[in-house]
Structure formats: C-alpha cells, structure tokens
A = this chain, B = another copy of it.
C-alpha cells in the first residue's frame, strides 16, 4: 500500500467516481468469467499459474472481506468468503461463480455509502496485516489494481486458448 505524504489538497477523484471505477472493472471481469469455457475456467493454466477461477476467488475474497473492513474495521465480517479462505464455500461452476460475483457487487453498492470522508484518509491495515498499511483510499486502490493485474493474466489464458477476450474498455 502507498505511504503517500499528502502535500496537495486538490481533490481529484470523489467517492462515487471511485466506486464506479471499481464496479466498471468488476463488470469487465464478469465478462471475462462468462467468456471462459466452463471447464477451462477451472482448469486451464499458463506457466503453472492458478486457473482463472482461482484468481477470481482471490478477487471475491478481497472485495467481500475488504468492503466490510474498509467500512467498519472487521475484515472477517463477510458471511461466506474470508481472506484466508477457511470459511469459503468456493463456487464449483461458472453459474455459481457468477452468482457469487453478483452478490458481492450488490454488497459493494450497499456498503460503499457508509465510508465517510474521514475514513477514506484514515490509516488502516488491510485484513489486519501489519505489512499492508496505508490510508483507506490506497487500500481500495490496491484491491482494484490487484483485480486488473490478475484479469490481465486471464487475457493471456484466453488468448492461449484461441479465444478473443472482451475489450479492455468494456466497462458497461
């Protein structure tokens, strides 16, 4: 997480725009899940890396636990997915994965307005880990960046299957 020293108070991105940016990326990731063939979603790998469903599970754990931690400090508040996965009931089909995705989409929308102006700037430890320190906004940026990073790897997986991925700009 960034340890930014803030010297300029010019606002650049507000709370609504930040959520829209995240959800736009999540809509694209959803298209990626849909684009993968059912079997390859859970099995196809390049260079020994995790299959795309495994990367998606990481995104789900981060978003589901993350929003509750950002809002109220309880990083294990999500009923289904936890950071370490100990309580996970991982989706086993594309349909189940998409349903879980949509559940978390709704939870982000419902909880986002609870983040106060002060909270965005508050120093937090993501998932309670001392090494993952930074202002709340930078932790959220990390969540989104992590999704873009792993989804980019999914693009290579699809290309290696001879399948054209959705355009990077398709955030609707």
Contact = CB atoms under 8 A, between A and B. Distances in A.
Interface string A1-28: 1101111111111111110110011000
Given A47-B156, A149-B148, A159-B47, A141 B21 contact: yes
A16 B3 CA distance: 12
A117 interface: yes
Question: In which size bucket is the chain A interface?
Answer: 35 or more
Question: Which among A15, A48, A145 has the highest number of chain B CB atoms within 10 Å?
Answer: A145
A153 interface: yes
A11 B14 contact: yes
B152 A150 contact: yes
A151 interface: yes
A156 B2 contact: no
**Copies of the protein in its oligomer:** 2
A80 interface: no
A37 to B, nearest CB: 16
Contacts of A5: 16
Nearest to A117: B10
A42 interface: no
A2 B14 contact: no
B14 A6 contact: yes
Contacts of A132: 169
A28 to B, nearest CB: 10
26 contacts: A2-B17, A2-B20, A6-B16, A8-B15, A8-B16, A8-B113, A9-B14, A10-B14, A10-B15, A10-B116, A11-B15, A12-B18, A12-B137, A13-B13, A17-B138, A25-B145, A46-B46, A46-B156, A47-B159, A49-B159, A145-B148, A145-B168, A149-B149, A151-B152, A153-B153, A153-B156
